[in-house]
Amino acid sequence: MDRRSFLRTSAVGAGAAAATTLAAPAIAQGNRTLTMVTSVPDGFAVFDDAAQLAIDYITAMSDGQLTINKMPAGSLVGAFEVFDAVSSGQADIYHSAEYYFLNQHPALAFMTSVPFGMTSQEMANWYYRRGGQELHDNLSSLFNLKPLMCGMTAMQPGGWFTKEINSADDLQGLRFRMPGQGGQVLGRLGASVQNIPGGEIYQALASGQIDGAEWIGPYADERLGFQEVTKLYYTAGFHEPGSALHMAFNLEVWESLTPQQQMIVKVACEASHAQNTALSLAENGAALARLRSAGVQTREFPDDVWEAFGRASAEVREENMGDPLYAEIADSYFASMDESSAWYEIGDGEYMRQRNRVNAG
């Protein structure tokens, strides 16, 4: 399936969140502490790793003059309430996945990942070199926010299922956890989609509340223990080829930082993003081997399911194209993806063909 053949995206209007009284950051003897709310519990592999690493970098590079107090999901606000909390000034920063907030604006999907979209490297190309950051800034400014890419979970598998998916008909009535446009695609195909926070997925799966769930990848999934509940793991997914995480500041808090502090935060987020990408890609292979040795059975979706995913993905993208900002972001996103893919096919593609031939003997 040629992902570039899919229709180029969607839209719907966005409701702006009004800012209320700004929470005053703690400042003493030239030092400043900001409050960050996150969408996962402390210690969640890959996701929380990215947030904590950025915090550590910021503290070290500022010599302790700028520190961040991390408040995990549920300690100050709920996992999916962090956007509104920072927009309104209840907290200074959030660390999360932007596609959790499609009710604020559907274009936020592109800042995390969309079905049949960018790989992790393509996402970095677009965000850092082809205008993605600027488009994200423009979108987030509507909500009094300043975003920075800060983490990357890379390709996400199809997920854990309590029963096999042998045809597209098996998606009918399936109770499945999946956020973002991927969840909208499954809903269009007849599934009952649940947008459950990361910290609650295991219990929902173990209790039978849901029939399946996707999370991040073998390394993070193994840490959550999904293999204790079911042994069916679909390793190829359609929904998130390269999923970015973000740190977002209340815009007034961001503008109150000195230029040096802003640069420290930017560099810390970029470094965390690079390290997080490496963590995901380096650890997933070994984790999958451990899961298989523990009895997990890896599966692939049949062709008719992939075709259904493709059709529904194109429809979901197209239905929002009437929103000008969504259309602008979608056009930029797919133009950059095509540009990257063309080079990979011409340049890297030939290298990979030759490398595979050599390694095959």
State residue 38 phi and psi, 5-degree precision. -125, 170
Q: How many of the other CB atoms lie within 10 Å of CB of 8?
A: 17
How many of the other CB atoms lie within 10 Å of CB of 33? 13
Task: Decide: 233 and 160 in contact? Cβ < 8 Å.
Answer: yes
Please give the model's pTM, rounded to 2 decimal places: 0.89
| Signed CA dihedral, 90, 91, 93, 98: sign only | negative
CB 15 within 8 A of CB 106: no
- Tell me if residue 88 falls in helix, strand or coil: helix
Dig out the tokens for 252 from the structure: 């007034």
DSSP string, 199-248: GGHHHHHHHTS-SEE--S-HHHHHHHTGGGT--EEE---SS-SSEEEEEE
Per-residue pLDDT of the chain (361 residues; tens, 9 = 90+): 444 333 333 333 333 333 333 444 555 457 999 999 999 999 999 999 999 999 999 999 999 999 999 999 999 999 999 999 999 999 999 999 999 999 999 999 999 999 999 999 999 999 999 999 999 999 999 999 999 999 999 999 999 999 999 999 999 999 999 999 999 999 999 999 999 999 999 999 999 999 999 999 999 999 999 999 999 999 999 999 999 999 999 999 999 999 999 999 999 999 999 999 999 999 999 999 999 999 999 999 999 999 999 999 999 999 999 999 999 999 999 999 999 888 877 877 777 777 787 887 6
Q: Tokens 């390290």 correspond to what residue?
A: 275
Please measure the distance between the N-terminal and C-terminal CA atoms of the chain and give it in whole angstroms. Answer: 29
